[in-house]
Structure 1
């Protein structure tokens, strides 16, 4: 890693003063609990976290609330919501509430898995590209641009059609098609931090590369990393539902996407069985809305301009 001439002179001269370091405002907020406290006092964040928490609890308790196989058939076919079946039944006699609750387990798991993996890859590629620069930056930027130029939907369809169906396949396909956008955004943010004084100080004092990347640069990108993570989770849940609605997932499994697929195949819209379509579609919309509210709250907490506008 190259260091400027002035920095070389500082490190080799007899002056024993510690190199100046820039204040790490976001880093201190994250480690000091400021970000968490800000989110817990933000109305948008509380609203979004409440919705998300309820869905997670329902997904975890699905085997307790609706025990047994959710795909089991009952004697009631295309029954409207009633005391026996709170959300009605499908054209095959399956309980819609059971399908919705059990489907949340697969959809949320895939969404969070895609979000975490895609964000990690995006951070790794983006920060490495900005930190190392030169040839590394050019190669990683070329790789990122290639994935950005490939049309997302056709690539999703092709990969999903040729790989064996299953949740793992969906996660792999969505990560392959979803990491490049986050890498581009994170690289831009890392480049703006790359020239800060505290990074030059870390380099001069001989800190390890991985430590500089993940303990110096990344904490100062907390807000953009969090926004990227939330966006990737929304993308994962929505893209999985879209793939499975097209019949490119494992149609024998239970998820919000497969619920919509079978509802469409059974002609729920044509027969007026609205209760078969609405629960899974509404669940996807509510989760996306909750994550978007949390994303807005993160921006308000970490962006001084938004905080000032809110006070005014």
Structure 2
């Protein structure tokens, strides 16, 4: 999944306020938070994500010792002693899954934060200054959007030294353009608002206007962009490492899939060596997608109205 493909769904997100309640007011933010916590899909996503985050933090307690150590004979099926079985080299699959969550979630959220930050800066600057600045930044953004993502990922990862830092650089370099395009579209609509013009007339600095007047009104679009970038980061990291373009000596869900493929797990029928990591990636992406959908539905008046009508019919 890529940020570019999710841009069309995020373009529909719009931040609106109730009558008499400014968008930037704490009352409105509390109202959005309360509605998000009452949303069933959002709560399911938050619970699933929280479980994985807690497992990643508590990895030294849940699976002490070296997860790469051979504990028993290779390719043992799941049992009470080893709940998810062992790999061909005798490594405990559950320990690899638990420790792999640290790298996969850490890189995913790092990529999401950096790609969103770069896209936010480029989008705000492009929309606020316009003219030549907008033209130049739009050309750069379009170039990154037009370059095929997967070949660029493979080329960059193949020529840079393997490691988590390389994965982050490669994914951020290929993932910021989609978020920049989405942020720019929203910022252009805010640039013509009366409060933005009033701030310009009163002589406020450009950074103050962008981050104090415009950014608070883009909370929902920034949140949706961030979640989409995290999904992209986790999935793309797993894909690169599965192809052997990452640090195969590290422990992550992607390297677990890589070693399962190298050891011929699919041919040998040792499904327990690759299904757990695949399910973990799918569950985290599913949880983030649920939260993203809930944020979009709550902040988009059309989707919110459609949900209310469905509730009345029920």
Q: Same fold (TM over 0.5)?
A: yes
Equivalent in the alignment of 1:210: 207
CA contact (8 A) 1:25 1:220 kept: no
- 1:116-127 matches, cutoff 5 A: 116-127=113-124
Equivalent in the alignment of 1:167: 164
**1:239 and 2:224 are equivalent in the alignment:** no
- Shift of residue 32, structure 1, vs aligned partner: 3.8
Q: Residue by residue, what CA displacement relative to the aligned partner does 1:108-145 show, whole Å, maximum 9, x if unpaired?
A: 00000000000000000011000000110011111111
Which of 148, 153, 173 matches 1:156?
153
CA contact (8 A) 2:21 2:27 kept: no
CA contact (8 A) 2:75 2:88 kept: yes
- Shift of residue 31, structure 1, vs aligned partner: 6.4
Cα 1:219–1:49, aligned 2, differ >3 Å: closer, same or farther?
A: same
Equivalent in the alignment of 1:58: 55
CA contact (8 A) 1:30 1:36 kept: no
- 1:1-312 matches, cutoff 5 A: 25-28=22-25, 32-312=29-309
Give the whole-Å Cα distance in 1 for the aligned partners of 2:21 and 2:149: 37
Cα 1:25–1:310, aligned 2, differ >3 Å: closer, same or farther?
A: farther
The alignment partner of 2:25 has SS state of helix
Give the whole-Å Cα distance in 2 for the aligned partners of 1:31 and 1:207: 25
Provide the alpha-carbon RMSD of the alignment: 1.4
- Shift of residue 292, structure 1, vs aligned partner: 0.3
- Shift of residue 35, structure 1, vs aligned partner: 2.3
Q: Residue by residue, what CA displacement relative to the aligned partner does 1:88-110 show, whole Å, maximum 9, x if unpaired?
A: 00010000000000000000000
**Relative to structure 2, which stretch is displaced further, 216-225 or 227-236?**
216-225
CA contact (8 A) 1:59 1:104 kept: yes
Q: Which 4+ residue blocks in structure 1 deviate beyond 3 angstroms?
A: 22-26, 29-32
Give the whole-Å Cα distance in 2 for the aligned partners of 1:133 and 1:220: 19
Report the TM-score when normalising by structure 1. Answer: 0.91
Cα 1:54–1:221, aligned 2, differ >3 Å: closer, same or farther?
A: same
Give the whole-Å Cα distance in 1 for the aligned partners of 2:88 and 2:132: 59
Gaps of 5+ in 1: 1-21
Give the whole-Å Cα distance in 1 for the aligned partners of 2:52 and 2:72: 29
The alignment partner of 1:27 has SS state of coil
Give the whole-Å Cα distance in 2 for the aligned partners of 1:203 and 1:209: 8
Cα 1:235–1:23, aligned 2, differ >3 Å: closer, same or farther?
A: farther
Q: Residue by residue, what CA displacement relative to the aligned partner does 1:164-212 show, whole Å, maximum 9, x if unpaired?
A: 1110110000000000011011111111111000101111122221111
Give the whole-Å Cα distance in 2 for the aligned partners of 1:131 and 1:218: 12
Give the whole-Å Cα distance in 2 for the aligned partners of 1:95 and 1:140: 49
Give the whole-Å Cα distance in 1 for the aligned partners of 2:23 and 2:237: 33
Give the whole-Å Cα distance in 2 for the aligned partners of 1:143 and 1:151: 15
Gaps of 5+ in 2: 1-18, 310-314
CA contact (8 A) 2:67 2:99 kept: yes
Report the TM-score when normalising by structure 2. Answer: 0.90
Cα 1:45–1:30, aligned 2, differ >3 Å: closer, same or farther?
A: farther
